[in-house]
Structures are given as C-alpha cells and as structure tokens.
Amino acid sequence: MLADPDRLTQVMWNLLSNAVKFTDAGGEVGVIVERGRGDVLIHVRDTGRGLSAEECRQAFQPYWQRERGGGLGLGLLIARRLVELHGGALSVTSPGVGRGADFAISLPVADPTRSGSAHAA
C-alpha cells in the first residue's frame, strides 16, 4: 500500500489511545488487519464503554467528545480526514453503550503497475 507512515501512525495512535481511554481495567483492545479485495482493512476494537447509534453518527463531527476533560474533540475528525486523503475510509460501529466499539479503516492496495511514491495531500 502506498501511504505516509507518519500520518497512518497518527491515525492509529488516535484510535488506540481512545480505545484504551474508554475501556475499563480488565477490558480488551485489539487490532485486526485483513487483506480485502483491493484494500487493506484495519479494525481497532475494544470491549469498552461503547457508543449509542447517535454517538456513532456524531463521532467524527468537529468538537464532539464522548466526555469532556481533555483534548479539543478533533482527533477523530483529523484521523478520518487523513485516511480519506489516502483514498480510504474510516467508520465506527458499536453494538451499543457498554458493549465496545469497532473503528474500521479501509485503505486501497497499491497498484503494482504504477510507479512512484505516496504522499499525503
């Protein structure tokens, strides 16, 4: 995959730190990477506090925060935009409050017939 490793590290750091922040002691946070048809799928899943359907719709809005107390509420918005600049998508699903969350990244696989290097716009 052609991608800016620093920007993708930033995305993963944001998703993982949020997952840890909202998962209580004894819970689990995991990363699953799969090769799809023409893309790479990365899931950051946790067994934490979960999100309501409305919170899933709002999660990527500017200044939205599940809880006040730190940060500006821009991390998920920035993460989504960085993924989109790489030609991918970032989404969230949750079976409900108290039941964890799954942040899913889909990034296109590089076309081996194209030459050149990746750069984020």
Query: How confident is the model over 1-54, as pLDDT tens digits?
Result: 778 999 999 999 999 999 999 999 999 999 999 998 899 999 999 999 999 999
Q: What is the pLDDT of residue 28?
A: 98
Look up the pTM and report it. Answer: 0.87
Cβ-contact 89, 108 below 8 angstroms: no
CATH of 11-108, one of 3.30.565.10, 3.40.47.10, 3.40.50.150, 2.60.40.420: 3.30.565.10
Query: How confident is the model over 90-109, as pLDDT tens digits?
Result: 999 999 999 999 999 999 99
CA distance 73 to 24: 21
Q: How many CB atoms lie within 10 A of CB 5?
A: 8
In the chain, where the domains are located: 11-108
